[in-house]
Chain A
Amino acid sequence: QSVLTQPPSASGAPGQGVTISCSGSNSNIGRNYVYWYQKFPGTAPKLLIYRNNQRPSGVPDRFSASKSGTSASLAISGLRSEDEADYHCAAWDDSLSGWVFGGGTKLTVL
């Protein structure tokens, strides 16, 4: 079982928006930044969001994220077929002194 909790799946039609949640605890999300990764089958994870809501250069502004308390969320607007991927949240956990991940959410663009 992953330390961070994500819904296993999410979906939306092209052009619509979708939100993916990530729930943790005080020792991880509650005290530390949240990171989001996009992963396609057979490829390495790509950093999508860092420090809760910052986008690395090259990541479209259709991707946004927020954090409140011990939960975080990733929002994708204007869905495109190429957004169909797995999305993983991560955070540092002070109790474990290490990184923890969510179980991943498979996004389907209908």
Chain B
Amino acid sequence: QITLKESGPTLVKPTQTLTLTCTFSGFSLNTFGKGVAWIRQPPGEALEWLALIYWDDNKRYSPSLKNRLTISKDISKNQVVLTMTNMDPVDTATYYCAREEGLDGMDVWGQGTTVTVSS
């Protein structure tokens, strides 16, 4: 069974750095073709893709947020970490991680973690 679970702070202050961890099981991120993506959804708004890391450590970032995002993986812990700098209230959202199976898409998602940015 494939599962992913997001963890991190529920509240951050403006200008702080957010660090989110995605812990997964049921697959290995050192297997050819596998990837883990981060997506967020602000309240009442659309889903927004943030970043993606592949099995070979190739990384992709949303162009609009590229300067603020860093994605990394720890194969030994089955974790993917996303950091987002200079948080702002507009970054308040539910953040999801999902397995990316290449052409089969983002097929399994975590339950999401809600992050509020407020002083």
Contact = CB atoms under 8 A, between A and B. Distances in A.
Contacts of B49: 90, 98-101
Nearest to A1: B46
Interface stretch (B13-21, B26-34, B75-83, B102-110): B102-110
A20 B52 CA distance: 28
Majority DSSP secondary structure for residues of B touching A? strand
B46 A97 contact: no
A102 B110 contact: no
Given A47-B107, A51-B103, A97-B60, 4 more contacts: A37-B47, A46-B109, A88-B46, A90-B49
15 contacts: A44-B96, A45-B47, A45-B96, A47-B105, A47-B108, A50-B103, A50-B107, A51-B104, A51-B105, A90-B47, A90-B49, A90-B106, A98-B52, A98-B60, A104-B46
Interface of B: 37, 39, 46-49, 52, 60-63, 96, 98, 103-112
